[in-house]
Amino acid sequence: MIKIEKLVKTYGNHIRAVDGLDFTVRNGEILGFIGPNGAGKTTTIKMMTGILKPDSGNVMINDYSMRTQALKAKQEIGYIADSPDLFLRLKGIEYLNLISDIYGVSTKDRKERIKEFASRFDMLEALGDAMQNYSHGMRQKIMVIGALVHNPAVWILDEPLTGLDPKSAFALKQMMREHADAGNSVFFSTHVLEVAEKLCDRVIIINHGKKLFDGSIETLRENRKEEDLEKIFLEMTAYE
Ligand X SMILES: Nc1ncnc2c1ncn2[C@@H]1O[C@H](COP(=O)(O)OP(=O)(O)O)[C@@H](O)[C@H]1O
Binding site for ligand X (CB under 6 A): 11, 15, 17, 35, 37-43
Element (H, E) at 214: strand 210-215
Q: Contact 117/74 with Cβ under 8 angstroms? A: no
Please tell me whether residue 114 adopts helix, strand or coil conformation. helix
Q: Using CB under 5 A, list all residues that contact Mg ion.
A: 41-42, 82
35 binds, among ligand X, Mg ion, none (CB under 5 to 8 A by kind): ligand X
Rounded to a whole number of angstroms, the minimum distance from the CB of residue 188 to ligand X is 12
Q: Contact 115/142 with Cβ under 8 angstroms? A: no
Nearer to ligand X, 5 or 19 (CB): 19
Give the rounded distance of the alpha carbon of 94 from its chain centre.
Answer: 23
Nearer to ligand X, 17 or 220 (CB): 17
Q: Contact 185/155 with Cβ under 8 angstroms? A: yes
Rounded to a whole number of angstroms, the minimum distance from the CB of residue 152 to ligand X is 22
Rounded to a whole number of angstroms, the minimum distance from the CB of residue 231 to ligand X is 20
Give the residue among 86, 149, 100 at the shortest CA–CA distance from 121: 149
Rounded to a whole number of angstroms, the minimum distance from the CB of residue 34 to ligand X is 9
Nearer to ligand X, 40 or 92 (CB): 40
